[in-house]
A and B are shown apart, each in its own frame.
Chain A
Amino acid sequence: MNPQADLLPGTLDLLILKAVSLGSLHGYGILLRIQQISRGALLIEQGALYPALFRLVRQGYLKASWGTSDNNRRAKYYELTSDGRKRLREEEAGWNRLVDAMTWALGAEAEEV
């Protein structure tokens, strides 16, 4: 079996918001952070990352600013806005409801029905 799970559609935004909520990051850092917090189970296709970042900035959930990284390279850092934080909470709650529902559904036994 493939150790890396496929991303469900719509979960990329949630992952990005989550990754950024742990501290402002540049694009590559977001990739690494997602890999890290999903314990290597989720691998983001790099081509999809930047369009998603641009979209989230346009929607006002992220804001971007230029800064200098550890090795003195200029980098564009993304951080959550207050709208972004709210959105993240909502998405998290929604996701948890889905997971619970799926867990219950899949864990059902014949005698429970």
Chain B
Amino acid sequence: MKLVAYLRSLASTIFPNGREDKEMDEEFRAHIQRQADDLERSGLPRAEAERQARIAFGGYERTKEECREQRAGFGLETIWKDVRFGLRMLYKNPGFTAVAVLTLALGIGANAAIFSVVRGVLLRPLANRDGDRLLYLRQSLTGDDDVTFSVPEIKDIGRNLKTIKALGTLSQIDFTVVGLDDPREVSAGVVDGNYFDVMGLRPVLGRLLNPGDDGPNAAGAVVLGYRFWTTTMHSDPTVIGKTLRLGSFEGTRSATIVGVVEPSIPYPVEVEIIANIVTSPHHLSATMVDGRVHRMTEVFGRLAPGSELESARAELNTVYAGMMASHPDVYKPNDHFKITIARMHDQINSRAQTILWVLFAASGLLFVIACSNVANLFLARTVRREPELALRSALGATSGVLRRSLLAEALVLCGTGLLAGVLIAAPMVTVLGRYAARFSARAVGLTLDSSLLWIGVALALIAAIFLAFVPRLPSSDVSRGFGLTSSSVRITGGSRRRLRIFAVTQIMASFLLLAGAAALLRTLLVLQKTQPPFETSHVLAVNLPVMTDGRTPEQVREFYREVQRRVSTVPGVEHVAAGFSVPWRDSRELSISFTFAIEGAPRENGQDDPRARFRAISPGFFETLGVPIQQGRDFNDQDRDGAERVVIISQSVANQLFPGQNPLNRELRWTDPVLKFIGMSFDPRRIVGVVPDLDDQEIIPTPAMTVYQPSTQEGWYGWRLFVRAKSDPYALVPTIVREVHAMAADQPVERASTLDDVRAEVMTPDRLNAIVFGGFATLALLISVVGVAGVLAFSVSGRTREFGIRLALGAEPRSILTDVLREGLIIASIGVATGVLVGVIFAHTVARYVAEMQLPGAVVLLASAAVILAAALIASALPAARAARVDAVQALRSE
């Protein structure tokens, strides 16, 4: 009831119509008439009666006005009036409005977009049920702080935990899947029956895996990842019940698709499908089940109800210490084995965290710059409007009224800026999302939501209030500084100081952004200048996933040898080789390294065996990559299974273990206990060649101890084909695919790419960093240049009279020019100096939280400072030129 009355009243305020006014008139007039009737009846003549009735009624219009004020939302009307006034003022100054709105739009848009991304990637809770109770376990040891677990370890750790409800395990494996449209290699996770329950995920279709799917006698079952289902299977609901053949390096098994899991973040490895243990023969082998050092399994946990992370950490440490004590042969004191445990959410964010917060800081700086710039424009304009404001205040406008009208103007400005900003922000979120996807799987499929708008509104409000309170209102002492007759502007000292402060703030923030961008650019340039240690532009890498279906290892090796032979006959092919890892791309294979020992070289006391990267390659590998063999020979076709075991070592192995000796024909022996699970022998291998150090992991090469072994002899297959082309490598791809399919129609041929492109792909994050921050810095610089130019132009126009007098007294125009330029340079220098100071303080604060934080070098800082100063000089040039052109007579007459 009350609400209805209020709303009706409000409606008549917002949508005024003449009816109400007329009704008021009618009501009041009837009142006066009645009173006059009564007076007339008491004996007064009609005219006198009406006169007295009107007097008794009091101020007619005032009563009407007072009645109107009783209506709901009366305040709105005044604000609306102010807003209309503001709109008119802005409309009359299109240049000012355009610059201010554009600047605000950039500031608001960039911040809203980045906050959306930060929120989506870092702050949003995980899709998993009770995601904050989800844990991620890891071990670390000296030299490797990121080690997975072996099955015996998981058994030891997971037994009788009180603080953790259950452990779920996943190990990544590549399956060659037959039964989809085309046979293809699919990244799969092999999990135990607890996995989905621990992860807290639900099916969108069918069912997930449960403890009933464990054990060697269960039927093969596969759950599709949501993305795999929607993209590869086109969200086909009939896939449930379909049977797939899953091929891995130890054989092929059948599995039935039982369900599709809801969208969730694949962490720490991207897996497209998830299968039970029986689908992978390797997971049932003794290697996997009994091998304590055969570590390939990720472990997740879920906190038991009522327990906290700290208590779980304490319990795990105790359990882990017990396990280490009972296996001293495996957990040597020197290795400093440790178990680490983290919340899944923190673990996932760890990589994206730094970059996104830095980006957020950068966009915050941009907002500061934008606000300062608009504040400057606003302030300068208010100073020009001082006569008007003074007049209004002289006519009785209180400072509250003036402030309110400034606020309305600022609101209109910021509101328009907000609209434009949201328009900019929407596409920015898409771009930034793609960028953030490099660092966090959570950024994939990031969508826009209303939070973007709310952030924008909040920022616009902050900016508007800030803007409205920046200008000083004319003092109530009207006689002072009130020059209605004068058309020129006199700038009060206070306003001028504020203008300069904002200009300095802008320069400072731009400098910080520029220095940051320059540092990133330098990193990128260093990366790009680095020459790869081998031929990359003409070498094509192609994945040929293993198809073991019913074939012996020797038959598989023969298949790869035959592929190599046939592809080498293709016209345009210079060399062909095979290996088990594509440089920079196959991170899992590239990270394989083993300990080894040299025959006859006695180990120094207490020193562990040296460790070298392991690489399986075919004969011709070095020739294909254009790397010379420094000593000895390449592998050849005689180096096959059953023949003498041979290896090739890299220069740094030779230097370190055979200093001043000839390494050829010496013998080397793998000593790593992991080897027995891979099926490689510990027998000595003869060194037949020495090659230069080839770093195929890092863009900036480091001397890497590497030992090469023929892929045709033992261990991994050469399932990556390297083709050196005479001209365009990509032109060869169709022919290569045809040749392979001629041998085996369902053999997948995947990810053909030149090594150049693989390398470029690895550098993409660095390039994106440089581009994004460079973009920010450029924007900031542009805004600041406009800002500095604006301040100087304003200062020049205010000093016209001074320049006129100086010119009249015989000053050189050039001295006035340098005067203005100097003013610009001083502003810029102070800005840069403050920037350095703020930057150092900021870096020191951040360094406490982020370990890899470092200050950019002197070159970067100097270059950024030079750019800023040059920009300031350019910005001052125009106003300076105008100052020097001042006509003395005109200037003095204008007073």
Chain B residue at minimal CB-CB distance from A56: B70
Chain A proximity of B4: nearest CB distance (Å)? 7
Contact with B71, one of A26, A54, A74 (Cβ below 8 angstroms): A54
Contact with B30, one of A45, A55, A63, A74 (Cβ below 8 angstroms): A74
CB-CB under 8 A for A60 and B30, given A51-B66, A54-B67, A55-B70: no
Indicate if B595 sits at the interface (CB-CB under 8 A). no
Contact with A28, one of B2, B6, B35, B59 (Cβ below 8 angstroms): B35
Q: CA separation between A63 and B66, bound complex, in Å?
A: 19
**A interface footprint on B43-81 (CB within 8 Å = 1, 0 otherwise):** 000000000000011110011001101111000000000
Q: CA separation between A76 and B4, bound complex, in Å?
A: 20
Indicate if A83 sits at the interface (CB-CB under 8 A). yes
Q: Which residues on B sit within 8 Å (CB–CB) of A47?
A: 57-59, 62-63, 66
**B interface footprint on A70-103 (CB within 8 Å = 1, 0 otherwise):** 0101111000011100000000000000000000
Q: CA separation between A105 and B808, bound complex, in Å?
A: 85
Indicate if A59 sits at the interface (CB-CB under 8 A). yes
Q: Which residues on B sit within 8 Å (CB–CB) of A63?
A: 5
Is there an interface contact between A76 and B23, defined as CB atoms closer than 8 Å?
Answer: yes
Contact with A58, one of B6, B27, B33, B58 (Cβ below 8 angstroms): B6
Is there an interface contact between A28 and B30, defined as CB atoms closer than 8 Å?
Answer: yes
Q: CA separation between A30 and B72, bound complex, in Å?
A: 24
Is there an interface contact between B58 and A28, defined as CB atoms closer than 8 Å?
Answer: no
**B1-54 contacts to A (CB < 8 Å):** 1-6, 9, 23, 26-28, 30-31, 33-35, 37
Indicate if A57 sits at the interface (CB-CB under 8 A). yes
CB-CB under 8 A for A51 and B57, given A28-B30, A28-B34, A81-B1: no
Is there an interface contact between B26 and A58, defined as CB atoms closer than 8 Å?
Answer: no
Q: Which residues on B sit within 8 Å (CB–CB) of A28?
A: 30-31, 34-35
Indicate if A2 sits at the interface (CB-CB under 8 A). no
Q: Which residues on B sit within 8 Å (CB–CB) of A53?
A: 67
Q: Which residues on A sit within 8 Å (CB–CB) of B27?
A: 26-27, 50, 75-76
Contact with A51, one of B31, B35, B56, B69 (Cβ below 8 angstroms): B69
Q: Which range holds the interface residue count of chain B?
A: 20 to 34
Is there an interface contact between B59 and A58, defined as CB atoms closer than 8 Å?
Answer: no
Q: CA separation between A55 and B26, bound complex, in Å?
A: 19
Chain B proximity of A31: nearest CB distance (Å)? 8
Is there an interface contact between A83 and B1, defined as CB atoms closer than 8 Å?
Answer: yes
Q: CA separation between A71 and B40, bound complex, in Å?
A: 15
Is there an interface contact between B58 and A45, defined as CB atoms closer than 8 Å?
Answer: yes
Chain A residue at minimal CB-CB distance from B67: A54
Chain A residue at minimal CB-CB distance from B8: A58
Contact with B67, one of A51, A59, A73 (Cβ below 8 angstroms): A51
Chain B proximity of A81: nearest CB distance (Å)? 6
Q: CA separation between A39 and B33, bound complex, in Å?
A: 24
Q: Which residues on A sit within 8 Å (CB–CB) of B6?
A: 58-60
Is there an interface contact between B1 and A73, defined as CB atoms closer than 8 Å?
Answer: no
Is there an interface contact between B26 and A74, defined as CB atoms closer than 8 Å?
Answer: yes
Is there an interface contact between B1 and A51, defined as CB atoms closer than 8 Å?
Answer: no
Q: CA separation between A69 and B34, bound complex, in Å?
A: 11
Among B31, B33, B56, B59, chain A packs the most CB atoms within 10 A around the CB of: B31
Q: Which residues on A sit within 8 Å (CB–CB) of B34?
A: 26, 28, 73
Q: Which residues on A sit within 8 Å (CB–CB) of B1?
A: 60, 81-83
Chain A residue at minimal CB-CB distance from B62: A47
**A interface footprint on B301-343 (CB within 8 Å = 1, 0 otherwise):** 0000000000000000000000000000000000000000000
Is there an interface contact between B30 and A75, defined as CB atoms closer than 8 Å?
Answer: yes
Q: Which residues on A sit within 8 Å (CB–CB) of B5?
A: 57-60, 63
Q: Which residues on A sit within 8 Å (CB–CB) of B28?
A: 50
Is there an interface contact between A58 and B56, defined as CB atoms closer than 8 Å?
Answer: no
Q: Which residues on B sit within 8 Å (CB–CB) of A60?
A: 1-6
Contact with A73, one of B30, B35, B57, B62 (Cβ below 8 angstroms): B30
Q: Which residues on B sit within 8 Å (CB–CB) of A76?
A: 23, 26-27, 30
Chain A proximity of B14: nearest CB distance (Å)? 14
Chain A residue at minimal CB-CB distance from B2: A60
CB-CB under 8 A for A50 and B63, given A58-B9, A60-B6, A83-B2: yes
**B629-659 contacts to A (CB < 8 Å):** none
Chain B proximity of A76: nearest CB distance (Å)? 5
Q: CA separation between A53 and B725, bound complex, in Å?
A: 95
Q: Which residues on B sit within 8 Å (CB–CB) of A82?
A: 1
CB-CB under 8 A for A50 and B67, given A27-B27, A58-B72, A60-B2: yes
Chain A residue at minimal CB-CB distance from B72: A58
Q: Which residues on A sit within 8 Å (CB–CB) of B4?
A: 60
Q: Which residues on A sit within 8 Å (CB–CB) of B58?
A: 45-47
Chain A residue at minimal CB-CB distance from B65: A51
Chain A proximity of B35: nearest CB distance (Å)? 6
Q: CA separation between A47 and B66, bound complex, in Å?
A: 9
Q: CA separation between A14 and B37, bound complex, in Å?
A: 28
Chain A residue at minimal CB-CB distance from B74: A58
Chain B proximity of A27: nearest CB distance (Å)? 5
Chain A residue at minimal CB-CB distance from B37: A71
Q: Which residues on A sit within 8 Å (CB–CB) of B33?
A: 73
Q: CA separation between A74 and B28, bound complex, in Å?
A: 12
Q: CA separation between A89 and B45, bound complex, in Å?
A: 43
Chain A residue at minimal CB-CB distance from B23: A76
Is there an interface contact between A58 and B70, defined as CB atoms closer than 8 Å?
Answer: yes
Q: CA separation between A55 and B27, bound complex, in Å?
A: 16
Q: CA separation between A69 and B26, bound complex, in Å?
A: 13
Among A26, A27, A58, chain B packs the most CB atoms within 10 A around the CB of: A58
Q: Which residues on A sit within 8 Å (CB–CB) of B9?
A: 57-58
Q: Which residues on B sit within 8 Å (CB–CB) of A59?
A: 2, 5-6
Q: Which residues on A sit within 8 Å (CB–CB) of B70?
A: 51, 54-55, 58
Q: CA separation between A32 and B97, bound complex, in Å?
A: 59
Q: CA separation between A79 and B2, bound complex, in Å?
A: 15
Q: Which residues on B sit within 8 Å (CB–CB) of A51?
A: 63, 66-67, 69-70
Chain B residue at minimal CB-CB distance from A84: B1
Is there an interface contact between A26 and B56, defined as CB atoms closer than 8 Å?
Answer: no
**B108-128 contacts to A (CB < 8 Å):** none
**B interface footprint on A14-54 (CB within 8 Å = 1, 0 otherwise):** 00000000000011100000000000000001110011011
Q: Which residues on B sit within 8 Å (CB–CB) of A45?
A: 58
Chain A residue at minimal CB-CB distance from B27: A76
Q: Which residues on B sit within 8 Å (CB–CB) of A69?
A: 30
Q: Which residues on A sit within 8 Å (CB–CB) of B26?
A: 74, 76
Chain B proximity of A101: nearest CB distance (Å)? 30
Chain B residue at minimal CB-CB distance from A76: B27
Q: Which residues on B sit within 8 Å (CB–CB) of A46?
A: 31, 56-58
Q: CA separation between A26 and B5, bound complex, in Å?
A: 19
Chain A proximity of B385: nearest CB distance (Å)? 37
Chain B residue at minimal CB-CB distance from A30: B31
Chain B proximity of A84: nearest CB distance (Å)? 10
**A interface footprint on B732-745 (CB within 8 Å = 1, 0 otherwise):** 00000000000000
Among B1, B4, B35, chain A packs the most CB atoms within 10 A around the CB of: B1
Q: CA separation between A51 and B3, bound complex, in Å?
A: 20
**B242-259 contacts to A (CB < 8 Å):** none
A-B contacts besides A26-B30, A60-B2, A76-B30, 18 pairs, CB < 8 Å = A26-B31, A26-B34, A28-B31, A28-B35, A47-B57, A47-B62, A50-B27, A50-B67, A51-B67, A51-B69, A54-B70, A55-B70, A58-B70, A58-B71, A59-B2, A60-B5, A76-B23, A81-B1
Q: Which residues of B contact A (CB under 8 A)?
A: 1-6, 9, 23, 26-28, 30-31, 33-35, 37, 56-59, 62-63, 66-67, 69-72
The list of the 10 closest CB pairs from A to B, nearest first, reads A47-B58, A60-B5, A60-B2, A54-B70, A51-B66, A55-B70, A54-B67, A28-B34, A58-B9, A28-B31
Q: Return 29 A-B CB contacts under 8 Å, by A number.
A: A26-B27, A26-B31, A26-B34, A27-B27, A28-B31, A28-B34, A28-B35, A45-B58, A46-B31, A47-B57, A47-B59, A47-B66, A50-B28, A50-B63, A51-B63, A51-B66, A51-B70, A57-B5, A57-B9, A58-B6, A59-B6, A60-B1, A69-B30, A71-B37, A73-B33, A75-B27, A76-B30, A81-B1, A82-B1
Q: Which residues of A contact B (CB under 8 A)?
A: 26-28, 45-47, 50-51, 53-55, 57-60, 63, 69, 71, 73-76, 81-83
